[in-house]
Amino acid sequence: MTTPPLLNLDAYEAAAHVRLSPGALDYYGSGANDELTLRENRAAFGRLRLRPRMLRGVAQRDLGTVLLGRRHALPVLVAPVAQQRLAHPDGELATARAAAALGVTMTLSTIASRSIEEVAATGAGPRWFQLYVYRDRAVTQALVARAEAAGYEALVLTVDAPLLGRRERAIAGAERPEMVAANLQHDSMRAVMAGSAGATPDLAAYFAAQLDQGLTWDDVGWLRSVTRLPVLVKGVLRGDDAALAIEAGAAGVVVSNHGGRQLDTALATIDALPEIAEAVAGRGAVLLDGGVRRGTDVVKALALGAQAVLVGRPVLWGLAVAGEAGVRDVLELLRAELDLAFALCGVRNVEEVTRDLVV
């Protein structure tokens, strides 16, 4: 009896639940507190309806988009997700190879389980680096310098985690998986991990002890002063904050609630998007993560003002199911769904995905 194909990202999630250890599943899947925002990220997409156009000559379609001066094959990027070796031994290396094969940009987490240099060595795919700002600014500068030297093209500054959200499902779980922060094994980083032998068994304590909780908008300017890379601010849910990010010199913002893992009952990202896109007003890039599971979700985000979306958990599900091949299939499923949605909505490229497509 042959195994039926996995037809969509939800099917990959179900299959991954069978393969992942309980600790890994709790770590990846949990949200903050009652997980209301975790669920709302997806539910909010379901409340939006598309208004397709007819007879628009869609025989030729182009799914590409331009972000930060580079053309991307898809308006879909891989979000920064930590500790991918909990899903597969190759971890972030497999994800990087799969993304590169499709021309999709991968964003590497600061607390990845594979290092900046290891991921860069996988090939020529475009890569961004997600950054936390440490109390010891020398640690942050060393990470930035390594990302620049390894060919990463942008920094994604995460600002919604001065402390770690209370993820009760993961806390209550019977198993706590061992996590290794590969980027903090570099000689200049060892003090950050002092006393833990490179492992991060308690991420909440790690965040509280190491990350700078006193960040302000002035620190966006500081970061820009120590790098030649464009900086995007990730974790924005308000139009006024988006405007402040651009005024501070950010190249763009990522509309994000950290996958529902930080402040529970925060806005779903697709609900926050229109106000933020209006506030940015073309002065920088606007991206979105949280709850994207279908090609139609990508269309809705584009219509409401995003230039691209990032996907996180679906990549993990693909990685858990089939390593590099699973990640590639997840991204190919999204690409195929997006192409079909373009055709059925009567649009030929991202420029034709306009606000009037969505109610």
User: Which whole-number Å values give the CA distances from 232 to 66, 236, 252, 281, 284, in the listed order?
Assistant: 15, 10, 5, 16, 9
Nearest-angstrom CA–CA distance, 149 and 167: 35
> In CATH terms, is domain 9-345 a member of 3.40.50.1820?
no
Q: Return the number of other C-beta atoms located less than 10 Å from residue 102's C-beta.
A: 16
Max CA pair span of the chain: 65
Closest by CA position to 128, among listed 255, 43, 232, 261: 232
Contact at 8 Å (CB) between 58 and 342? yes
For residue 274, give the 3-state DSSP assignment. Answer: helix
Is-contact 181 211, C-beta < 8 A? no
Query: From the candidates 17, 72, 88, 258, which is the catalytic residue?
Result: 258
Question: Is 186 annotated in the active site?
Answer: no
pLDDT profile of the chain (359 residues), mean per 10: 83 98 95 98 98 98 97 97 97 97 97 96 92 94 97 98 91 82 69 45 74 95 98 98 98 98 98 98 98 98 98 98 98 98 98 98
How far is Cα 1 from Cα 205, in angstroms, rounded to an integer? 48
Radius of gyration in angstroms for the set of CA atoms belonging to the chain, rounded to a whole number: 19
Of 256, 230, 262, residue with least CA distance to 242: 256
- Following DSSP, what letter does each residue of 89-147 receive, concatenated? TTTHHHHHHHHHHTT--EEE-TT-SS-HHHHHTT-S--EEEEEPPBSSHHHHHHHHHHH
- Could you give the angle at the alpha carbon of 132 between the alpha carbons of 126 and 134, nearest 5°? 140
What pLDDT does 1 receive? 53
